[in-house]
């Protein structure tokens, strides 16, 4: 969430102090992240200790239980939330849930160039995540990949909507014009994803625990060099390619060369076992998901302030040469 929610700081401070037995001296809203359900803050205690506070709508406890399990399994790159005084790892706060973490002084993958050591560390961490033996109780709480039509159906509805509706908001109107100009290409990537999903449903897969969103913003490097994978808000049991599609997928600028990708796989291993069909499917699906999420933000409403133009830019960037759609196409062309 890039714009601060309309919750008085005093209410947040009071709730944090009550739940964590913490005297708060500073509370600062951090305008980061594209998820409209989540607002984050930097909290500083009277002892000058900093914390990272997340306010999350539509909370599902699995987003806390998964990283706790991974940490207990020895995956050090996972950051886990702190306990409340009632020994939970979250607390209710009206329509939100409060989750408090240690604050890591550092930068994320959008703001820092990862070293080769970090790339290998990341690969090693995801090898550990994908090979973790998830307990049945936790596994039953994590959603499972179905290769369904959800994002594709939603995008087709928006394709139809922009042909018949009039948008008075300038950004929404601009987005509608852009979608109309790209209808052929959008239809093509929807059909590609449909075809690949049909292939994948007919294949036998080993479903592993996946993060599902390992772009640069969710890779944190501390000032002392430690690396963390953060934001476990949407874990899924899926083929490992669900995560691996990000490595060179164009979602961010972390993987600008084959050498950088190779560093990741030096840590991960088993590069020969990566399935190009699954990789291509997930790259198309990610493009479609991102397009739908931005349509959800811009077309039905004029809310969002300065977020709106930034979101419009994220939408159009997918269609630029060398970006996500072209990379997905190249991946699909590599399928035997």
Q: In the chain, what is the straight-line distance between the N-terminal and C-terminal CA atoms, in Å?
A: 41
Residue 36 has pLDDT above 90, yes or no: no
Residue 142 has pLDDT above 80, yes or no: yes
Residue 223 has pLDDT above 70, yes or no: yes
Q: How far apart (Å, rounded) are the C-alpha atoms in residues 227 and 116?
A: 12
Q: CA torsion 285→211→125→101, rounded to 10°? A: 140
For 50, phi and psi rounded to 5 degrees?
-95, 145
Name the least confident of 131-140, 285-294, 295-304.
295-304
The predicted structure's pLDDT at residue 85? 94
The predicted structure's pLDDT at residue 179? 98
For 265-285, what is the mean pLDDT?
93
Average pLDDT value for the chain:
94
Please choose, from the candidates 118, 100, 98, the residue with its C-alpha nearest in 3D space to the C-alpha of residue 108. 118
Q: CA torsion 218→221→226→227, rounded to 10°? A: 30
97: left (phi over 0), alpha (psi -120 to 50) or beta: beta
The predicted structure's pLDDT at residue 314? 94
pTM: 0.91
User: For residue 155, what are the contacts with CB-CB under 8 A and spacing of at least 6?
Assistant: 186, 190, 288, 291, 292, 295
The predicted structure's pLDDT at residue 34? 66
Q: Regarding beta strands 236-238 and 143-144, do their DSSP bridges make them parallel or antiparallel, or are they unpaired? A: parallel
Residue 66 has pLDDT above 90, yes or no: yes
Name the least confident of 19-23, 114-118, 304-308.
304-308
pLDDT digits (tens, 9 = 90+) for 178-191: 999 999 999 999 99
* Helices 183-201, 170-181: crossing angle, 10 deg rounding: 70
- Reported as a pLDDT band with limits 50, 70 and 90, residue 285 is very high
Q: How far apart (Å, rounded) are the C-alpha atoms in residues 293 and 315?
A: 9
- Reported as a pLDDT band with limits 50, 70 and 90, residue 253 is confident
Q: How far apart (Å, rounded) are the C-alpha atoms in residues 319 and 312?
A: 12
Task: Compute how many other C-beta atoms are within 10 angstroms of the C-beta atom of residue 98.
Answer: 22
The predicted structure's pLDDT at residue 304? 72
Residue 254 has pLDDT above 80, yes or no: yes
The predicted structure's pLDDT at residue 305? 75
pLDDT digits (tens, 9 = 90+) for 78-92: 999 999 999 999 999
Please write down the long-range contacts of 109-112, taking CB distance under 8 Å and 24 or more positions apart.
Answer: 109/215, 109/216, 109/217, 109/218, 109/219, 109/220, 109/221, 109/252, 109/254, 110/216, 110/217, 110/252, 110/253, 112/221
- Reported as a pLDDT band with limits 50, 70 and 90, residue 302 is confident
Percent residues over pLDDT 70 in the chain: 99
More confident residue, 241 or 304: 241
In 24-102, DSSP assigns E strands to 24-30, 38-45, 50-57, 91-93, 96-102
- How many residues comprise the chain? 336
- Reported as a pLDDT band with limits 50, 70 and 90, residue 1 is low
Please choose, from the candidates 230, 226, 227, the residue with its C-alpha nearest in 3D space to the C-alpha of residue 211. 230
Q: How far apart (Å, rounded) are the C-alpha atoms in residues 124 and 131?
A: 11
Compute the half-sphere exposure of residue 211: CA atoms within 13 Å on the CB side of its CA. Answer: 25
The predicted structure's pLDDT at residue 136? 96
Residue 2 has pLDDT above 70, yes or no: no
- Reported as a pLDDT band with limits 50, 70 and 90, residue 31 is confident
- Classify residue 9 by burial, with Cβ atoms within 10 Å: 0-12, 13-18, 19+: middle
For 149-157, what is the mean pLDDT?
97
């Amino acid at each position: 969430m890039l714009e601060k929610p309309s919750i008085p700081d005093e209410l947040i401070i009071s709730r944090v102090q009550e739940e964590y037995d913490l005297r708060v001296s500073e509370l600062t809203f951090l305008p980061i992240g594209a998820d409209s359900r989540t607002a984050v803050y930097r909290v500083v205690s009277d002892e000058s200790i900093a914390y990272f506070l997340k306010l999350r709508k539509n909370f599902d406890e699995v987003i806390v239980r998964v990283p706790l399990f991974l940490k207990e399994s020895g995956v050090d790159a996972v950051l886990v939330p702190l306990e409340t005084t009632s020994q939970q790892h979250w607390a209710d706060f009206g329509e939100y849930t409060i989750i408090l973490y240690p604050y890591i002084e550092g930068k994320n993958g959008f703001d820092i160039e990862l070293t080769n050591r970090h790339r290998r560390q990341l690969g090693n961490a995801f090898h550990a995540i994908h090979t973790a033996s998830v307990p049945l109780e936790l596994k039953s709480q994590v959603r499972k990949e179905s290769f369904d039509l959800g994002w594709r159906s939603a995008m087709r509805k928006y394709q139809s909507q922009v042909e018949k509706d009039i948008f008075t908001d300038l950004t929404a109107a601009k987005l509608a014009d852009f979608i109309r100009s790209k209808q052929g290409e959008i239809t093509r990537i929807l059909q590609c994803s449909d075809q690949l999903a049909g292939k994948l449903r007919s294949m036998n897969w080993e479903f592993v625990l996946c993060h599902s969103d390992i772009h640069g913003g969710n890779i944190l490097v501390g000032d002392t060099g430690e690396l963390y994978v953060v934001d476990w808000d949407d874990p899924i049991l899926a083929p490992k390619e669900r995560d691996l599609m990000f490595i060179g997928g164009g979602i961010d600028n972390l993987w600008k060369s084959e050498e950088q990708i190779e560093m990741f796989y030096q840590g991960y291993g088993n590069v020969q076992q990566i399935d190009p069909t699954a990789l291509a499917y997930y790259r198309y699906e990610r493009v479609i998901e991102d397009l739908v999420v931005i349509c959800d933000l811009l077309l039905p409403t004029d809310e969002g302030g300065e977020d709106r133009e930034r979101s419009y830019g994220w939408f159009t960037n997918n269609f630029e040469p060398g970006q996500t759609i072209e990379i997905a196409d190249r991946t699909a062309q590599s399928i035997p």
